[in-house]
Structure 1
């Protein structure tokens, strides 16, 4: 595997490219690659989250997987909703890393160039997450509704444009921001993950010594460890968000608090962790791929740009 120089506090190799372009391009690329790799697990996780009356069992993932393939045509059903998912992930990561980089630069300038503290990472990550969640929530509503049902289900959205038109017609502008509140709570997940990732990365760099490069294996390991840590703390919000974003959410729940009350009363504590197994299977490779593509793109893009500029000159 190629080796990449460990970026410290968001700094990248010098080049003629603005840092914002580098960060957003790296984030966009990471979102596209990660979504293509793990989209079927996203469908599986969402379907399990929406099973209200069934008690969670170890074999549920295989049962739902067989059911999707059997009832919805073939294995292509596992990629239903791929486009809104890809758009959502790529745009989200592009915006997130753009704001995250700029906020870290502001904080580092305020600290006089010193290494950032855990709280700095938390604030930068949390603020970036809030801005990203507000901007991209409409994409996630369409995506959740498309992957929560088969393409042949009554009332199912046929495409992104069909979903936008019908959602606006039936629920108006507020419908595009359904589930935003639990998504904002979910920002804490990203904040916790990034604090853990940045600190683990700094510790690993210190352990390997000054000037020694972090390997791709380091990035895979560190991103996986930070994701497991954050996911174990914040997973329940995803169940609440999914329940609020389905087609008939207004008929079933009056809001996020009502979802929490109903899940607790009807399904118990384990109801908040439905779909967590496929979610872990999905998010670990997704996170590892995302950060690996992000770190490599962030490092190599300026080099490729410099080479192109040199050739043109």
Structure 2
């Protein structure tokens, strides 16, 4: 411990690790997030007509003022949402595990069960979803429109002001119901991730996991959870969209209406529009997130010369 008596708390470690991981992963894959959202909002009955390649080509050719600006439109709310979302999620996920362990009176060396992991991750996900939903509304509206479109939000602050002025507080919570359904994504992800890490440690006879082990576990878990829960993302995007050229903001159609219209007009394939670029975005993003997270949470206590029982992800 440092001579000045400073000590970094476990909660601070989790928050900083999650914040750092969210920032790094968002910057890397933001362009794919734009393509995915544009595909989710396409209402044509044939999803093949609006492929990820055609969407990307259209953005690069028609939007600007530069290609880089076009590909990174809406980055500020995406950075804020992901960084704060991951920071809060990891903080509450760790606290949720501690709470479950305390309520069940587990000894320190007893592993949590699958149900325990589900409860901790679902609770963390629900709290994070509610607090970050306003940011996601602004992000969705920014990346779903070109900056040249009349009425499009020129910045995150402008978007917040516009929503407050025209829709009130309720405008910030469009898509919250499917977002809460999407909490199951985090629960399924962490269930798979924790079990894969246990399996990998057993194979290595409790030796330290490598970065490759972490990347494989996070990638497989993301594909598993992402494919199962993806339809909720499509519904949420459609609830959060808006027409920037509209003179009057119409009432939100509602979760049930959007879901039934999607099924009636676009069939089951409509619920999976943008899945390809989504997996191409979230799998490397998740790998980066958890590599940064695992290594940051290992390194921070050692920067303060503290002993840590955390298993290091080997560099």
TM-score by length of 1: 0.90
The structure with the greater share of residues assigned to helix is 1
Matched, 1:213 2:204: no
Q: CA deviation at 1:296?
A: 0.4
Quote the residue 1:38 is aligned against.
29
Quote the residue 1:254 is aligned against.
253
- SS of the aligned residue for 1:150 comes to coil
Quote the residue 1:229 is aligned against.
224
Residues 142 and 59 of structure 1, relative CA distance in 2, 3 Å threshold? closer
Matched, 1:140 2:136: yes
The equivalent position to 1:107 in structure 2, one of 87, 100, 111, is 100
Alpha-carbon displacement from aligned partner over 1:86-128 (angstroms, at most 9, x marks no partner):
0000000000000111111122233222110000000000000
Count the aligned residue pairs. Answer: 292
Matched, 1:245 2:240: yes
Give the alignment of 1:50-199 within 5 angstroms: 50-53=41-44, 55-57=46-48, 60-73=51-64, 74-76=66-68, 77-109=70-102, 110-113=105-108, 114-199=110-195
Q: CA deviation at 1:171?
A: 0.3
Q: Structure 1: which 4+ aligned runs deviate by more than 6 Å? A: none
Residues 154 and 133 of structure 1, relative CA distance in 2, 3 Å threshold? same
| Structure 1: gaps spanning 5 or more residues | 1-14, 308-313
Residues 175 and 162 of structure 1, relative CA distance in 2, 3 Å threshold? same
TM-score by length of 2: 0.90
Whether the 8 Å CA contact 1:108–1:115 is kept in 2: the answer is: no
Distance 2:224 2:49 in 1: 22
Q: CA deviation at 1:85?
A: 0.1
Alpha-carbon displacement from aligned partner over 1:44-93 (angstroms, at most 9, x marks no partner):
00000011125111871110101011111232201000010000000000
Distance 1:270 1:89 in 2: 28
Q: CA deviation at 1:251?
A: 4.1
Matched, 1:47 2:43: no
Query: Which one scores higher on RCO, CA 8 angstroms, separation ≥ 6?
Result: 1
Residues 200 and 58 of structure 1, relative CA distance in 2, 3 Å threshold? farther
Whether the 8 Å CA contact 1:46–1:242 is kept in 2: the answer is: yes
Pairwise CA RMSD of aligned residues? 1.6
Deviates further, 74-83 or 249-258 = 249-258
